[in-house]
Amino acid sequence: MLSPSDLILSAPTVATDDFEERVRAAAAAGFAGIGLSVPLYDSIRAAGASETEMSAVLRHYGVECAELLSLSGWAGDTVEMTRSRALEDRLYAISDAFGARYMVVGSTRLGHSPEDVAARFAAVCDRAAAHGLVVGLEFLPWTEIADAASAWGIVELAGRSNAGILVDAWHMYNGPTDASQLRAIPGERIVAVHFDDADAMSTGDLHQDALRRCRLPGEGVLPLVEFVRTLDSLGVAVPYSVEILSDELNAVRAHEAARLAGDAARAVLAAARPQPRLDNDHGRPPRSPVPRC
């Protein structure tokens, strides 16, 4: 099991179909977990790796498969829901093979009443629970679940104990979510975090910016130190997933991309969570001066 201080290398952050290269790069960069998606899994298998070999690689490097990306279409029209159900089964098969911690769920179009949307989400959560998965509902600013309040409303109405919110820094600060919306959510129901950054100027297409132009933590303009401290103040205790969807980073070899992602994330986290200075001789926090009489 990963600890809250661990990092996850999300599937899109490095570009390689060589599974051992991906896992070796993650381990070398200090990541305790990785993410997988169905397209990535299919590419890895097409490149020749079997599930047995993939499991052996994870064990060898001491890295867990922690995150599954991602399910959409579950609350759309009949055609979308049929496709979504097939994708969902594929994600469960990956989870059964490698033991993921959580599955990311989002949706571009709801197409039903709030009660029906919540019921459909609850059904996803029930099926995920049978595979030992937590479900993180992700809000995306270009969709009908555009902010944390909308996502939390669905989770609350669904009433499933394995359901919660995935908070992505990029989506939070490029959409209508603010800190007050996060503070309305119990910390234990924020079940996953995506850690990334953004440029000051958008191209005007949020979706394309999110898919192609994310920045490493600390290399953009988002107030990530404040973001981390807000989540900490709520008692959020989950490993952060460093998810950088970037054409620029994908042009870099896997090991270098993983190193850059890990180093950037840890630098921001260290700035947000400064450690007390220790006495050189005794390894204790410095004492407050004794007032003179």
d(CA 214, CA 168): 12
Task: Give the position of tokens 């305790």.
Answer: 32
Instruction: Provide the mean pLDDT of the chain.
Output: 93
Q: Where do the domains of the chain lie? A: 7-272
Residues 6+ apart with CB under 8 A from 142: 108, 206, 207, 210
User: Percent of the chain at pLDDT above 70?
Assistant: 94
> What does the pLDDT look like over 205-263, one tens digit per residue?
888 899 999 999 999 999 999 999 999 999 999 999 999 999 999 999 999 999 999 99
Decide if 88 contacts 127 (C-beta within 8 A). Answer: yes
Question: Residue 69 has what pLDDT?
Answer: 97
Which CATH class name applies to 7-272?
alpha beta
d(CA 25, CA 39): 20
Q: How far is CA 156 from CA 119, 122, 150, 184, in A?
A: 11, 10, 10, 12
Indicate the pLDDT class of residue 279, thresholds 50, 70 and 90.
low
Indicate the pLDDT class of residue 289, thresholds 50, 70 and 90.
very low
> What does the pLDDT look like over 49-80, one tens digit per residue?
999 999 999 999 999 999 999 999 999 888 99
d(CA 77, CA 269): 41
d(CA 73, CA 112): 12
- In 2-30, which positions are buried (b, 16+ CB within 10 angstroms) versus exposed (e)? beeebbbbbbbbbbbeebbbbbbbbbebb
Question: Residue 275 has what pLDDT?
Answer: 84
What tokens were used for 71?
A: 């399910």
Indicate the pLDDT class of residue 277, thresholds 50, 70 and 90.
low
- pLDDT of 271 higher than 60: yes
Task: Give me the amino acid identity at 281.
Answer: D
Residue 190 neighbours by CB distance under 10 Å:
22
SS3 of the chain: the string is CCCCCCEEECHHHCCCCCHHHHHHHHHHCCCCEEEEEHHHHHHHHHCCCCHHHHHHHHHHHCCEEEEEEEECCCCCCHHHHHHHHHHHHHHHHHHHHHCCCEEEECCCCCCCCHHHHHHHHHHHHHHHHCCCCEEEEECCCCCCCCCHHHHHHHHHHHCCCCEEEEEEHHHHHCCCCCHHHHHCCCHHHEEEEEECECCCCCCCCHHHHHHHECECCCCCCCCHHHHHHHHHHCCCCCCEEECCCEHHHHCCCHHHHHHHHHHHHHHHHHHHCCCCCCCCCCCCCCCCCCCCC
Question: Residue 280 has what pLDDT?
Answer: 55
Q: CA neighbours within 13 Å on the CB side: how many for 78?
A: 0
Task: Give the position of tokens 């509902």.
Answer: 137
- pLDDT of 290 higher than 90: no
User: Percent of the chain at pLDDT above 90?
Assistant: 84
Decide if 84 contacts 53 (C-beta within 8 A). Answer: no
Question: Residue 278 has what pLDDT?
Answer: 58
Indicate the pLDDT class of residue 107, thresholds 50, 70 and 90.
confident
Name which residue leads in pLDDT, 128 or 290: 128
Q: pTM for the whole thing? A: 0.92
- pLDDT of 291 higher than 70: no
Question: Residue 122 has what pLDDT?
Answer: 97
- pLDDT of 281 higher than 80: no
d(CA 152, CA 170): 18
- pLDDT of 15 higher than 90: yes
Mean pLDDT confidence for 170-197: 96
